[in-house]
Amino acid sequence: MGAQLRVYRRRMRSVKATKKITKAMELISASRIVKAQQRVAASTPYANELTRAVSAVATYSSTNHPLTTPSENPKRAAILIISADRGMAGAYSNNAVKEGEQLAALIRGRGLETTSYLVGRKAVNYYKFRKRPIAGSWSGFSDSPTYENAKEVADALIVAFLADAQTDVNGVDEIHIVFTEFQSMLTQNAMAKRMLPLEVIESDAPAPAGLLPMYEFEPSAETVLNSLLPRYIEARVFNAMLQSAASEHAARRRAMKSATDNAEDLIKSLTRLANAARQAEITQEISEIVGGADALASASAGSE
Amino acid sequence: MTLNVELVSPVQRVWSGEAEMVSARTIDGDLGILSGHAPLFGVLVDGQVKIKAVDGTTTEFVVNGGFLSVSKDRVSILTESVG
């Protein structure tokens, strides 16, 4: 076997091995998307009921709760970025981090400082590499977050929010969240949303009949808000994490699918090259034999 | 008239359907809800939630805190975890 042919064969073997891995990862991700989607769907009733409740309470009670009242002189804003723990998912983590950068620039444009809370190793590494301060980071659960994970993150955010930003360096006046919305298997969007203070829609127009009735509060509107809002933030964070997890799997599946396709193309063109090299080798051998026989024949013809 | 009840936790919808009566324990004490109850929003403490379905069966759940909201015969119970 010629040297050229051997090189082609070796490269084909290596590409084939890579293709097996990417194909396996594609199939694993594909099966996990379905599961992640089901978890998003399962958490939706809770999130919807909670949102309904919060808007009802916040709209129809006159209490000025710190969680609903925007600070008059905001000083600092927290940004929570949800990214992946592992790579191999195309631009998934990068998109979330970039969206976070844009949001941070926007907030700084309003004259506020920003602090970063990060979920997922990819975002943490991005910040560490650039030696940026990190106010809080969590990782190790990006592909299947539990409610406890979300609670941990939400608790840290609420503590920072309740601290006075004017005097405490850890205190923040606003909380924004950057996550990847799962629209469909094919479309996922990195997006930024403000979580706190709540954007309570106070319209002059009468509320649609029957939608948000006047509630009696048990024991009082104040107490209800106090215990309702942390749950609301937790549910928002949890929902964002679940959507991001589904998006991560979808992005990984797509990245691995194109890697598998590319490997296939590469194998095809390498096969062609290897075949051409083999044929060239054979042609050369034949012409060498013919040339050799020719030389022998003319040599013996000359001696007689 | 029956109540349209939903008991949901962050990870799943635990119970949903038509019921005659729901009873739960709020901070202020035990509370029973029948059809036609005034709009109410209550904070639950750890304890039992009983749902008496239209077919007469009673289901009990142990909840760890949560909320109860009632409006127009629609009862939703939100809890962090159901035991």
A87 CB-contact burial (10 Å; exposed 0-12 / middle 13-18 / buried 19+):
middle
B76–A contact, CB cutoff 8 A = yes
The phi, psi pair for A246, rounded to 5°, reads: -60, -40
- CA B68 to CA B52: how far, in whole Å? 16
| pLDDT for position A102 | 95
- CA B13 to CA B10: how far, in whole Å? 8
B62–A contact, CB cutoff 8 A = no
Nearest chain A residue to B42 by CA distance is A218
Closest among A207, A204, A157 to A178, alpha carbons compared: A157
Question: Chain B 32-61, CB below 8 Å of chain A: which residues?
Answer: 38-43
| pLDDT for position A205 | 43
HSE, side-chain direction, 13 A CA sphere, residue B6? 18
Nearest CB to B43 within list A46, A218, A238: A218
CB B58 within 8 A of CB B50: yes
Per-domain boundaries in chain A: 24-201+212-257
Low-confidence ranges of chain A (pLDDT < 50): 202-210
> Cα separations (Å) of A202 from A60, A161, A215, A249?
10, 23, 17, 38
pLDDT tens for each residue of A207-244: 444 455 577 887 777 788 888 888 888 999 999 999 99
Using the 8-state DSSP alphabet, how is residue A206 labeled?
A: P
pLDDT tens for each residue of B7-35: 998 888 888 899 999 999 988 888 899 99
Q: Which fold has domain B3-78?
A: ATP Synthase; domain 1 (2.60.15)
Per-domain boundaries in chain B: 3-78
- CA A165 to CA A115: how far, in whole Å? 12
Number of Cβ within 10 Å of residue A226's Cβ equals: 15
CB A230 within 8 A of CB A7: no
| pLDDT for position B82 | 83
What is the 3-class SS of A72-104, one letter each residue? Answer: CCCCEEEEEEECCCCCCCCCHHHHHHHHHHHHH
Q: B81 to chain A: which residues are within 8 Å by CB?
A: 147
Q: Which fold has domain A24-201+212-257?
A: Pyruvate Kinase; Chain: A, domain 1 (3.40.1380)
Task: Please indicate whether, in this complex, the C-beta atoms of A210 and B8 are within 8 angstroms of each other.
Answer: no
pLDDT tens for each residue of A165-190: 777 888 888 999 999 999 988 899 99
Task: Please indicate whether, in this complex, the C-beta atoms of A223 and B27 are within 8 angstroms of each other.
Answer: yes
ipTM (interface pTM): 0.83
Q: B71 to chain A: which residues are within 8 Å by CB?
A: 213, 215
Strands B12-26 and B47-53: antiparallel
